[in-house]
Structure 1
Amino acid sequence: MTVPPEFADMHSPLDAKMGFELLELSAEKAVGRMPVEGNTQPFGLWHGGATGVIAETLGSLAANAHAFAHGKIAVGLELNATHHRSARSGWVTGTATALSLGSRIAAYQIELVDDDGRRIATARLTCQLVEEKK
């Protein structure tokens, strides 16, 4: 699966600043990546905030793919992450996999890996499906 046309141009200014690239999207799974360069903390390691950004972005996009099918939008309720190791260069790739796709809640596990496939972090995002306010 690739990125559905209605999501192809859906980018936030934060995603652009951080170099986020969306590679695949469905309600069940989202894959994307961000460069380590420009997203590090003062010691040159992948920043924990970057983990939060990529996890939230991937989980939210997948949750919205699910929500749109129900005429709703998805908004984040809770994000948590565990950092296992860091990266100093290359790319961090994230894969958000649906844990639960309900009519009011969607939950995802997001695994982040470095270019060698080593796990950088594991995150979980829960989103609520709501009516869009116009």
Structure 2
Amino acid sequence: MQVVEASKDQVVMKMTVGPHNRQPMGFLHGGASVALAETAASIGGNLHADPSTQAVFGLEINANHIRSVRSGIVTAIASPIHIGKSTMVWQINISDENKNLLSIARCTLAVKTKQQ
């Protein structure tokens, strides 16, 4: 996974599809897509947190896989839907190199106060 862009409003990440993240039938594994989605959301969430006093963790994620690929590069674009004091919700769209939508995910993040 590679971070292309990271701001409070949008996180863009890319991931190469290859033997390391394909399922047994040779397609991009749905779990790899979910890992990419949660990573993008978590990076964005941490940009909204105060790292000296807060930690951000994935609380829940759901995904719908619309189509798949066997090779190439996929791109995840994560955008915040809700930024709250104790939770954040991010929408993540994953597309192929031709901008075909592969997966959509929604990730809820928990914002916790670090123990001193």
Question: Per the shorter chain, which TM-score range?
Answer: over 0.9
More helix by share: 1
* Structure-2-length-normalised TM-score: 0.93
Does residue 55 in structure 1 map to residue 45 in structure 2?
no
| Displacement of 1:69 | 7.0
- Structure 1 unpaired stretches of 5+: 1-19
Aligned to 1:44: 26
Aligned to 1:130: 112
Which protein has greater RCO, CA pairs closer than 8 Å, 6+ apart? 2
Q: Which of structure 1's runs of 4+ aligned residues deviate more than 4 A?
A: none
d(CA) in 2 for partners of 1:114, 1:131: 37
User: Match for 1:23: what amino acid?
Assistant: V
Does residue 78 in structure 1 map to residue 60 in structure 2?
yes
- Structure 2 unpaired stretches of 5+: none
Q: CA RMSD in A?
A: 1.5
3-state SS of paired residue (2:5): strand
Aligned residues: 115
1:10-21 equivalence runs, <5 A? 20-21=1-2
More strand by share: 2
Does residue 96 in structure 1 map to residue 96 in structure 2?
no
